[in-house]
Amino acid sequence: MAPCCLSLFFLFLFTFASVPANSLPTFFPGAKQAKARTSKPKLPFKTHYFPQTLDHFNFQPKSSKLFHQKYLINTDYWQKGAPLFVYTGNEGDIEWFAANTGFLLDIAPKFKALLVFIEHRFYGESMPFGKHSYQSAKTLGYLTSQQAMADFAVLIRSLKQNLSSVASPVVVFGGSYGGTPILQFDKIVPWSSFYDAVSQDFKDVSLNCYEVIKGSWAELEAMSTQKEALAELSKAFRTCKSLRSTASARDWLWTAFVYTAMVNYPTQANFMKPLPAYPVQQMCKIIDKFPSRATKLSRAFAAASLYYNYSRSENCFEIEHEVDSHGLHGWDWQTCTEMVMPMTCSKESMFPPFGFNYGEFAAICQMKYGVSPRPHWITTEFGGERIRNVLKRFGSNIIFSNGMQDPWSRGGVLKNISSSIIALVTEKGAHHVDFRSSTEDDPDWLVELRKQEVGIIQKWLNEYYADLRHG
């Protein structure tokens, strides 16, 4: 490894997106929600703002406009010349990701690393046009993955110069959209793989649980045809305000089951919502304890309530007015432009079968933003099925870490590409679980996974410093 090169480590666990054409919830489902005023977590970081260039890819006068890109930094363990551990922000407030990525704080003392969490443009406080950033496609047009990666590169380069530590290696960490597996796009993996995987998570716990959820949709559909359907649903679902659409109840259930599968952690956590250890198992226990005479819909509602109210702090549910407490609302634009990941539901899924119609999807994006999606752009830009050859050619050092409980893992890299492009796969792992802070309750497989990752990083850094010494 040449001394001038960055030592790159991408921890890829899954991506976030789901864009069925028939108005099912988009994951993350934030675009239709109001922004919540929530207190930021207290974190051991200092907040800084970098004067970032609006457009890195042309030289028109307006391209040089600057905006303030937020980043968090921790220098508690750093020594000059030691590595920079950089988390490349994704679709939300950077504090949210910093609060849920304790792995970097856990290992920073060992490597004497400086920690940096960079916020993605158009999320959190990093708004290029302030409160007008989401006004139209004229402003949102600068929200692309290419612009974001250029932001990260420019900021990292400047930071190393300002630290007078240009030779420090950089280890980059990314999860969610920030660690997007290219294989999720186009037709590289089956379009039904995501919802099939969610369904399998529940089916593996309890066949009855899977069948109850699978049958609840028909009961909901039948209920929607009744004269007082909305009033009855509002009562059954304990809504704070009367429902205006039965689809809202469907989306509420759907979202709970999908996100619970994604964050099926082995310990208590508060990433999407406060949840117990192994929440899929807990949901199925709720369903399985109901008497056989209970409706499937009532059992599904009780299970979904665990996701929304495990803390027991909610007296009613804001089903149509839930707030976006993590600042996810830019993701709808990205899925309507370049992050096009078609989703379908097969008959094996516990969700109602549906297909993907690009024409309908494009019409929705035209209506929302006045733009047409580019369904093949990501694979054109980054390589698609050829990504393995691209990575080999550039000699990258990458760890792809996938937990098979996470439905996004089906679109991840599950086999080694080379001796330095490594796939770590855990059968019980979920949504970037290894990024989370270690706890006394961590199972052995998770402890071993993190140990492997630390060992690989150490090996790469040793090689980098050896190359640096020999010039």
Which residues are annotated as catalytic?
176, 406, 431
Residues 6+ apart with CB under 8 A from 7: 1, 83, 169, 170, 171, 397, 460, 461, 464
Secondary-structure percent of the chain, ordered helix, strand, coil, rounded to 5: 45, 10, 45
Contact 319, 243 (CB under 8 A): yes
Cross-strand bridge partners of residue 50: 69
Contact 278, 266 (CB under 8 A): yes
Report the distance separating Cα 15 and Cα 175, nearest Å: 7
DSSP letter at 51 equals E
Task: Name which of 133, 173, 148 is nearest 329 in CA terms.
Answer: 133
Parallel, antiparallel or unpaired: strands 269-270 and 274-275:
antiparallel
Output the DSSP codes for 163-174. TT-TT--EEEE-
**Would you call the peptide bond into 301 cis, given omega within 30 degrees of 0 as the criterion?**
no
Contact 249, 243 (CB under 8 A): yes
Report the distance separating Cα 69 and Cα 122, nearest Å: 9
373 CB-side CA count, 13 A: 28
Contact 264, 276 (CB under 8 A): no
Task: Name which of 86, 82, 75 is nearest 174 in CA terms.
Answer: 86
Cross-strand bridge partners of residue 73: 46, 116
CA angle 173/2/425 to nearest 5° reads 35
Report the distance separating Cα 309 and Cα 295, nearest Å: 21
Edge-first strand order for the sheet with 66-74 is 46-53, 66-74, 114-118, 84-88, 170-173
Report the distance separating Cα 98 and Cα 103, nearest Å: 10
202: left (phi over 0), alpha (psi -120 to 50) or beta: alpha
Report the distance separating Cα 134 and Cα 224, nearest Å: 35
Report the distance separating Cα 411 and Cα 413, nearest Å: 7
